[in-house]
Amino acid sequence: MARFRILSLDGGGIRGLITTILLARLDAERGLAGWLERADLIAGTSTGGLIALALARGASLAEIRALYEERGKSIFDDSWLDNVRDLGNIVGAQYHTKKLQGELQGLFGAARLRDLNKRVLITAFDLDNEDPRPDHRRWKPKLFHNFPGTDSDGAMPAWKVGLYTSAAPTYFPTADGYVDGGVFANNPAMCALAQSQDARIGRRTALEDVALLSLGTGSSLLYVEGQRHDWGYAQWAQALLGVMFDGTIGIADYQCRQMLGVRYHRLAPRFAAGEAFALDSVERIPELVAFAGKVDIAPAARWLRRNWK
């Protein structure tokens, strides 16, 4: 029987809608009602971070789904005037954060990470730690969490952490010097597993007592054809974000599978060949809903019945 249950949620922008539907479908499976309440840690990156924070705050899956379906178009809304100023996204982020910030403040209010009902681990990347010592000043990954200890981020407002983790490069501006945690952990499963082993949280959980369910937001069959590419900045710019995000997803999956074996399960639906959904594909929300409703969740449900007790 698992003593420490981890739910890990990938990044993916509007595709987080898929995650909410898959979680709800699992909750409706025989014998699994309320399984989310037994999670000891919910980890998330970007849109997965927002879902993790919302679940830990006590929001229902129906409420979270409604935010994607009803507010997604507002959050990913770009005016023609802004496009002119940004030269079509060449010199500026595609979207402002004002609407996203408003939604997050409305959802979390004054709640801080320490006020949440569950432990969370949320990824972001700090572009400048502003250390006054020149030989210590640098950029670095940042894992926001509400575990006890001297390094706890419990005092951080939940809405701010949500803004930090979802500041995807080229899509949104940086937020207080942070960008989307997807640049180093678009799949935060390994970060969450490492957190379970940190003695600073007061209890190191044996690996054989950990159960970890990792959810993706839908992956596309992308590739770069050819064996040699003599590319520079301009050519790599289009592909680099996708390579980076997908690469971190794959390596975390491999690491967790190797370390946990059967106590680890990855539910990562794959789109059909030639099908791709950008982080801001809000005009295709009905397609995302239809896709999520057809994903085979039977293996994940069986895994939960065996390991999430």
Which pLDDT tens digit goes with each residue over 94-118?
788 888 999 999 999 999 999 999 9
Distance from C-alpha of 120 to C-alpha of 43, rounded to nearest angstrom = 6
Give the per-residue pLDDT at 164.
Answer: 96
Nearest to 78 by CA among 67, 91, 89, 66: 89
> How far is the CA of 293 from the CAs of 118, 221, 256, 296, 304, in angstroms?
28, 20, 27, 9, 19
Nearest to 118 by CA among 89, 158, 90, 80: 158
Give the per-residue pLDDT at 83.
Answer: 42
Nearest to 57 by CA among 7, 107, 122, 2: 107
For residues 29, 32, 38, 39, the Cα torsion angle rounded to the nearest 10 degrees is: -40
Residue ranges in the chain modelled with pLDDT below 50: 79-91
Question: What's the distance, CA 53 to chain centroid?
Answer: 10
Q: What is the pTM of this model?
A: 0.89
Helix, strand, coil proportions of the chain in percent (round to 5)?
Answer: 45, 15, 40
CB 285 within 8 A of CB 72: yes
Give the per-residue pLDDT at 221.
Answer: 57
Consecutive H or E run containing 287: helix 285-294
Give the per-residue pLDDT at 309.
Answer: 81
